[in-house]
Amino acid sequence: MERPLTRNIHPDRPALNLKEYEMTGGYTALRKVCSGMTPAALQKLVQDSNLKGRGGAGFNTGIKWSLIPMGEEAASPKYLICNADEMEPGTFKDRLLLEGNPHQLIEGMILAAYAIQANISYVFLRWAYHKAADLIRKSIQEAYDAGYLGKDILGSGFHLDMHLHTGVGRYMCGEETALLNALEGKRATPRAKPPFPQISGLFGKPTIVNNVETLCCVPHIVNNGIEWFKGLSYSEDGGTKLYGVSGKVKRPGVWELPMGVTMRELIEEHAGGMKDGVELKGVLPGGASTDFLTTQHLDIKMDYKSVAAAGSRLGTGTMIVMDSGTCPVGFVHNLQHFFAQESCGWCTPCREGLPWVEKLLLSLEKGEGKKEDIELLDMHTQLLGPGSTFCALAPGAMEPLQSALKYFRDDFEKHIEHKKCPYD
């Protein structure tokens, strides 16, 4: 089984420096592109590979790029931004790529920038990844020294500057338009769309924001072609995927596997099954803002379409397992506390609704809940759902809540009947 993204990552060894990366075939994709591939051809290649954005939304990367204005009359400078904010609770996949092989990301970014003819690029890195920050800073310098960044890259006439920006907290920064506001030195509140960032992004210029894992796929697609990339996958979405499992399993971790492995294989084989004494009760398949799946879904494929068909989202592909010893009400309360705290306060349903949801769940968990509280929670899943808020934060928050109310409703009711948490 091929693992292109993580083949050269060994957690017990330091990350590859420039020379070592080159010895594993690094920067050959950039050489290939610089020796005569047009930006349009590169966009088409990535579009046809069916690479979908690994940050959570799952949009075709090549199509996203194709919405950028090209040619002499396009506004300039254009920007390419790597979203390395990784703040979705339960998500720890990009860390592996950032700490394990920073040049792979940098090469992917240069290629993406070439495809859209952007001359300025940023890595927007979350503050907590100190090790990654040091490595990326050093690797960017190495790439400049080797002529992979800066003016006239490999004689192609293309020039690109790259900067590292480290954040100062707030989940909202992961939302692409909020991220742009943060890079402009503003509060990280989302922007109205349209205009989309491709037309008016950072400082009002055409901008593409791509996730770390997405960008890391690009050099491999250029080197090995579309058919190879599609062949890595068990499903119609191209490539491999970094999958993670956390919670009370025997071997929590992150693994690069063919896109579309089953949830059962991930939990039972790779994560070693549940810890002794507990059973699987529910799974958030792709981070805190995805709907619960349960034991009846173990055989679904972990790709965008199959997880959606089961009523959830692949999201970031890093699943959080809820075991039989953990109270679903307490679990969901923890999630809603997070979302209420991280609401940027821009729109009313999110700013006012999420703290209300959090309070209702806390009173239920303490045994002080009333029957109407469950109805109120149901109502909120509608009022804060898609279409009622400015951005996807509150609808995302409602996903685990609505599915918990669906699958674990008796647990909510028991808190009211017994006037205490039955798991205490």
Partner 1 sequence: MLSVTEKQAIDHEIALVPYKKASVIEALKIVQQHRGWISDESVEEIAAYLEISPAEVDSVATFYNLIFRKPVGRHVILLCDSISCYVMGYPRLHKLLEDKLHIRMGGTTADNRFTLLPNVCLGCCDHAPALMIDKDLYRDVEPALLDDILKKYE
Q: Using CB under 8 A, list all residues that contact partner 1.
A: 86-92, 94-95, 126-130, 163, 166-171, 182-188, 203, 244-248, 252-254, 284, 288, 318, 320-323, 326, 330-331, 334-335, 337-338, 341-342, 344
Closest CB 326 distance from partner 1, rounded Å: 6
**Pairing mode, strands 318-323 and 79-84:** unpaired
- Of 150 and 253, CB closest to partner 1: 253
Closest CB 275 distance from partner 1, rounded Å: 10
- Of 304 and 339, CB closest to partner 1: 339
Closest CB 248 distance from partner 1, rounded Å: 6
Q: Residue 60 is which amino acid?
A: N
- Of 248 and 380, CB closest to partner 1: 248
Closest CB 125 distance from partner 1, rounded Å: 11
> Whole-angstrom Cα distance, residue 135 to residue 96?
12
- Of 173 and 217, CB closest to partner 1: 173
Closest CB 8 distance from partner 1, rounded Å: 20
Q: Residue 368 is which amino acid?
A: E
- Of 54 and 230, CB closest to partner 1: 54
Closest CB 168 distance from partner 1, rounded Å: 4
Residue by residue, what is the 3-state secondary structure of the chain? CCCCCCCCCCCCCCCCCHHHHHHCCCCHHHHHHHCCCCHHHHHHHHHHCCCECCCCCCCEHHHHHHCCCCCCCCCCCCEEEEEECCCCCCCCCHHHHHHHCHHHHHHHHHHHHHHHCCCEEEEEECCCCHHHHHHHHHHHHHHHHCCCCECCHHHCCCCEEEEEEECCCCHHHHCHHHHHHHHCCCCCCCCCCCCCCCCCCHHHCCEEEEEHHHHHHHHHHHHHCHHHHHHCCCCCCCCEEEEEEEECECCCEEEEEECCCEHHHHHHHHCCCECCCCCEEEEEECECCCCCECHHHCCCECCHHHHHHCCCCCCCCEEEEEECCCCHHHHHHHHHHHHHHHCCCCCHHHHHHHHHHHHHHHHHHCCCCCHHHHHHHHHHHHHCCCCCCCCCHHHHHHHHHHHHHHHCHHHHHHHHHCCCCCCC
Closest CB 4 distance from partner 1, rounded Å: 22
- Of 254 and 361, CB closest to partner 1: 254
Closest CB 112 distance from partner 1, rounded Å: 20
- Of 119 and 156, CB closest to partner 1: 119
User: Counting beta carbons within 10 angstroms of the beta carbon of residue 391, is it exposed (0 to 12), middle (13 to 18) or buried (19 or more)?
Assistant: buried
Closest CB 342 distance from partner 1, rounded Å: 7
- Of 62 and 395, CB closest to partner 1: 395
- Of 187 and 370, CB closest to partner 1: 187
| Torsion of Cα atoms, 73 then 74 then 75 then 79, to 10° | -150
- Of 43 and 290, CB closest to partner 1: 290
> Whole-angstrom Cα distance, residue 231 to residue 223?
14
**Tokens standing for residue 158:** 């293309």
> Whole-angstrom Cα distance, residue 170 to residue 162?
23
Place of tokens 């045994």: 367
- Of 323 and 378, CB closest to partner 1: 323
Closest CB 362 distance from partner 1, rounded Å: 13
Closest CB 253 distance from partner 1, rounded Å: 5
